[in-house]
Amino acid sequence: MQKAGIWTLLAVSVVGVAALIAVFFRPAKTVKPLVGQLAPEISLETLARNTARATQDGNTLINFWATWCTPCLAEHPYLVDMADNGMNIVGVAYRDNPGRIKTYLSEAGDPFSTLYLDPTGKALDAYGVDGVPESFLIDEDGIVLARVSGALVPKTLDANTQALLEN
């Protein structure tokens, strides 16, 4: 009887760990919903901070992220590099602490021209985001060109998405 309980506990634990890995450590994949459609408008409070980033003409990358999200932190240096090379990046911080965000950005670099706070997931729902990080490349007309679920790092991007980000 005791052995059955141990095996049940072990099976539940393995399934739980597998579910956590699937949710939080999934590799980036390009998914198609919203691609080719008009991007939803974001109407949220912005986080005031000292930033030298100005909105650029051209494509905009909208990045959903959080300081508590390990894959988000892994992609952050790539976002800073893209912003340094002229990409306009708008951030949406999901269920995060404004003080923690400011501290992190002052230490790790701030790639965002605008940073929205999304404490309830309103913007995530509008974009159909399952979890952070997730990014959308939007053209000047507001059309979604690409959508990447997971960390936006070079080794996980397909060639088409990589080419769009470089233009």
Full residue range of the structural domain in which residue 65 is found: 28-166
- Joined together, the tokens standing for residue 24 give 């939080």
Q: What are the pLDDT digits (tens) for 146-164?
A: 888 899 887 776 666 666 6
Whether 97 is in a domain gets the answer yes
Q: What are phi and psi of 25, to 5 degrees?
A: -125, 35
Q: Is residue 4 part of a domain?
A: no
Which residue from 46, 33, 62 is spatially nearest to 134, judged by alpha carbons? 62
Predicted confidence at residue 61, as pLDDT, reads 93
Verify cis geometry, omega within 30 degrees of 0, for the bond prior to 133.
Answer: yes
Question: Which of 18-27, 43-52, 130-139 is predicted least confidently?
Answer: 18-27
Q: What is the pLDDT of residues 79-108, one digit of tens each?
A: 999 999 888 999 999 999 999 999 999 999
How many separate domains does the chain show?
1
Greater model confidence, 117 or 153: 117
pTM for the structure as a whole? 0.75
CATH number of domain containing 117: 3.40.30.10
Q: Is position 23 within any domain?
A: no
